[in-house]
Structure 1
Amino acid sequence: MCIGYIEPFQFFLNKPLNMSEQSLSISDDMRLICSGSTTTTAYCLDDFESSIKCSKRLLIRYQNNLLLLQTNTSGALKQNCSTKWRFISQLDDGAVKENLSNCSPIRAFLPGNKNTLHIEQYTLLDDNEKTIARCTLYHLSNADHSLIFGVSQPLRGYDAEHALLQEFLCKHGAAAINSYADIYAQCGFDQPVYNAKPKLDISVDAPAIETAAHLIEVSINVSRQNEEGIKADYDTEFLHDYRVSLRKVRSVLSLFKGVYSEADTAALKQDFSDIMKETNRLRDLDVYLLDRQELFELLPVRMHVGLEQMFDAFAVERKKQLQQVKKMLNGKSYQHSIQSLQDKFSSADKLSAGPKALVASLPFATKLIWKRYGKVCQIARQIETTTPDEEIHQLRIQCKKLRYLMEFFSTLFPQKMLKDLIKSLKRLQDNLGRFNDFSIQQESLQEFLTTYAKKHRNQNLIPMAESI
């Protein structure tokens, strides 16, 4: 069923238009003609967080073109792209790039299954053979699904005539599109929407050990959803989310003291630490390489030669580290360890309970959050311009633990108030994080230069040393 007049008119069609005579009469003085068609291979694109699908849009790549369909006044947008395009920064300036600016610049756009795309161009002519509107039909199909959708657009001053075209299309089975999200499932891109911070189902009266197991089980599940993306090296956020999720597991084990026995807590913390340390260097290199452009902008041009040397070396080392991480993730030892850890939190009887295991979640959460807040305030009051970097680093760690606790127990407290607190805390934590990154990088880059120099004695490293 069609709704009221929309400009442009975007619609689903239940069957192709019957163009046996190469034109269709819309009224006594208007006719619709097919002005061209093409058939090609096409892929629906989205990032791992389903940014396009969740915004009810549709992004299609065919040949060297990107087509963005969205239910607003812009309708269908198109621009050229490389077949190897993955990131927004790799696109030339254009209508599609501009409208993707709200998507993460460090998330890759990934293709779904292969589809066949048949495009038909139509022109609406008046009795003087003048073009007064245009319409494009897209027939997207694969082995399992087939659907037709289209966009019609009037030329300026011909809104009334376009309304008649819309009425004609509705009589031929057109139904207005309110969202393009459902098309993804029909085109073989039906992965569930990934959420790095899924909603946690916690009851105020649930025993602390039950809540801890739920938090850890959810976090492990999030980390494991990122394994394939890490191995495929789609983008660096897969490793980042993987590590954050495992770090949250370790935080639960550290912060929920007395929920599990001391022996189990120590063993579990060590198990997760052993897994995470395998990815430490790869993440460090990712951070360096992500900051590449910023560093080039900060340093004078005369130091760029040294930066090029350094980042070339980082890129080479990253390839080696990635292979090691892939080997680890594919290995039987890791698969057995991570599955064993998952199993331990799937049942209440697989771990020994501590003295606080049965404390209700709400009073347990309140006490933990208040205690951590006190530690943050204690350290923050002592911060001044001469404070050593290590103490600022400790403030960052305590802020992170406080934020994790607030996120873990967010459903137990007023949402608006907690959301504002977490947002402010996140902003502070980000600033402290950048300070810590710069502080650590000073030492790690010096260490890198020393190690690199020993391995490349015949190479001129003066430019690199100057840039560091």
Structure 2
Amino acid sequence: MRYLLDHDIDLAAFAQDLCKKRSLTALSPLNIQRQFMDSFDWRLYKANVALELELAPGHRKLLWKLTDNSSPDLVFPVPRAKLGFAADLREGPLKDRLAPLLEMRKLIAQLTITTHRQPLCLRDQEGKTLLTLNLEHHQLQDADGQKVEPLPPCLTVEAVRGYDNAFAVCIDYLENKLQLSPSDTSLFQDGLVRLGRYAGDYSSKVKLVLEPSLPAAETTRTILRTLYTTMLRNESGTIQDIDSEFLHDFRVAGRRTRSALSQIKNVLPQTEVDIFKSEFAWLGQITGPTRDMDVYLLDFEKYRNLLPELLKPALDPLKTFLTRHQRSEQQKMVRALRSKRYRDLKKNYTAFLEQETPDSEPPAKAQQPTKKTADQRIWKTYCRLVEEGRAIHPESPAEDLHELRKTGKKLRYLMEFFQSLYPAEDIKALIKSLKLLQENLGNFQDLEVQTHALQGFANQMQQEKIGSVDTFLAMGALCLHLNEQQQQARTEFAERFAAFDDDINRDAFQQLFHKTSRSSMKSKG
């Protein structure tokens, strides 16, 4: 149980009074640093888990709590190494719990609180502890380790199993005699509120509530501002290389931005749109090589598992090569993200997002209602996707599938931008069907790129004198496996596209985005 106390309470006097009236014994005070750990995107919180690291002289523990209190807290020994990636932990129960939740993400301290704790202990005549009261005052630190104003002091009550009566008597005294009310929030929640945050306050997904009648230009700027905020929130983690997902989300936000600028047509001044399309394309180019290396390293164990046992160790030099080149590409990218060009991009783009659409000669569809613009753009892109997909046959070149993948991505982004304008179940079902098609097209593209990349890596490794004959044999065998998987994806395409292009899906698209004409999209054949 936890009770908030008045900010101006004299904790020392309050402790003395409690000890006198309730026959409590004051123990040695503790200064404790509490770090509330999660990934940047709150993967533990989303799984109903809170992980709290407590550090004090002679007092180190890691608390695993379920936020719905559905089971008792678990206490783990604190790993010797600093908490970070689950993969780096020693085999055991903690790693078994963390690894499937965190995957490639790193634990970070979402919040750090320094607590001065004065324990007060109630004991029986034999000296057994019946319960402990803790008087605490807290100092909150932000993400940069800077102290801010203290949080309200509090009193917590720790029960001891088997002494329920002592606990009940204590609670009755606190609530009825002292008129204290139990807090309905945790220390963690109070700290986040003090920082103007809340648990789960970051997601890479586009979550907007749009007004159908607002001018399209105004809505488009809202979409772009949301994407830009996501990009900036990932900028520091990208530069510091905290984990690979910072760069991933940074790039996705930039890619979505380019798509919005390109696909939501004739609503913003074209001259500026063209400038920023070019600049965000440059941003994609300077971050691409680092992301490529990240992906190969993330997939390395998957690659290894494709090989027979005898060849698996021979692939280790490839990991060394990838790690070295990831660091090199990371350094190049950081220099670009600290360049004047990038600073100017941010300054000019911020100004662009804050502009209002000019009254004189606005773009043709700037004042068009948002819903009409969304209908038109989604329907047109959908028709293009269907036309391109229907034109693909077994002998079509790989480039045709790559172009279809790009069109599918444009359609998905548009649907995600504007999804709040449509019935949630209907548009989510269509996005899901599109994702299934994209998954197939993405696998086909990725496998082709990876096969060519591995062949190129083999040449570079020979030049850099990394690896042995067995290494290159293993890489050759890996390329054969990837090529087989690509051919399998190619074979599955017809079935995936047919499922997307069936009558039910087609009618659903038409009903949502093109009600005015029921005959404009005919069945295949």
Q: TM-score scaled by structure 1?
A: 0.81
The verdict on how the C-alpha distance between 1:74 and 1:23 changes in structure 2, with shifts beyond 3 A counting, is farther
Partner of residue 415, structure 2: 406
Partner of residue 451, structure 1: 460
C-alpha RMSD of the superposition: 3.8
Structure-1 separation of matches of 2:55 and 2:434: 44
Matched, 1:84 2:65: no
SS, match of residue 176 in structure 1: coil
Matched, 1:271 2:279: yes
Deviation at 1:339, TM superposition (A): 1.7
Structure-2 separation of matches of 1:67 and 1:369: 48
The verdict on how the C-alpha distance between 1:139 and 1:300 changes in structure 2, with shifts beyond 3 A counting, is farther
Which of these residues, 31, 35, 43, is aligned with residue 35 of structure 2? 43
Superposed, 1:401-440 pairs within 5 Å as 401-440=410-449
SS, match of residue 442 in structure 2: helix
Partner of residue 368, structure 2: 359
In structure 2, what residue type is equivalent to 1:107? R
Question: Residue deviations 1:132-173, cap 9 Å, x none?
Answer: 5566665533553143353523415x4444322322343456
Structure-2 separation of matches of 1:228 and 1:389: 37
SS, match of residue 278 in structure 1: helix
Deviation at 1:359, TM superposition (A): 2.9
Matched, 1:343 2:351: yes
Deviation at 1:441, TM superposition (A): 0.5
The verdict on how the C-alpha distance between 1:82 and 1:167 changes in structure 2, with shifts beyond 3 A counting, is farther
Question: Residue deviations 1:202-253, cap 9 Å, x none?
Answer: 3322333333233223222321221111111111111111111111111112
Structure 1 gap ranges (5+): 1-8
Deviation at 1:263, TM superposition (A): 5.2
Moved more, 336-345 or 179-188: 179-188
Which of these residues, 59, 65, 70, is aligned with residue 52 of structure 2? 59
Query: Is the contact between residue 11 and residue 176 of structure 1 (CA under 8 Å) also seen in structure 2?
Result: yes
Matched, 1:167 2:176: no
The verdict on how the C-alpha distance between 1:23 and 1:205 changes in structure 2, with shifts beyond 3 A counting, is closer
Matched, 1:246 2:242: no
SS, match of residue 354 in structure 2: coil
Query: Is the contact between residue 65 and residue 81 of structure 1 (CA under 8 Å) also seen in structure 2?
Result: no
Deviation at 1:397, TM superposition (A): 2.4
Structure with higher helix content: 2
Moved more, 289-298 or 172-181: 172-181
Partner of residue 5, structure 1: none
Partner of residue 6, structure 1: none
Structure-1 separation of matches of 2:155 and 2:134: 9
Partner of residue 145, structure 1: 150
Structure-2 separation of matches of 1:229 and 1:352: 42
The verdict on how the C-alpha distance between 1:372 and 1:83 changes in structure 2, with shifts beyond 3 A counting, is same
Query: Is the contact between residue 57 and residue 71 of structure 1 (CA under 8 Å) also seen in structure 2?
Result: no
The verdict on how the C-alpha distance between 1:422 and 1:165 changes in structure 2, with shifts beyond 3 A counting, is farther
Structure-2 separation of matches of 1:463 and 1:97: 31
Structure-2 separation of matches of 1:135 and 1:391: 69
Paired positions, count: 454
Query: Is the contact between residue 216 and residue 345 of structure 1 (CA under 8 Å) also seen in structure 2?
Result: yes
In structure 2, what residue type is equivalent to 1:155? R
In structure 1, what residue type is equivalent to 2:189? D
Superposed, 1:306-345 pairs within 5 Å as 306-345=314-353
Which of these residues, 186, 208, 223, is aligned with residue 215 of structure 1? 223
Q: How many percent identity over aligned positions?
A: 27
Which of these residues, 154, 161, 179, is aligned with residue 185 of structure 2? 179
Q: Which has the higher contact order (CA 8 A, sep 6+)?
A: 1
SS, match of residue 214 in structure 2: coil
Q: TM-score scaled by structure 2?
A: 0.73
Structure-2 separation of matches of 1:264 and 1:421: 33
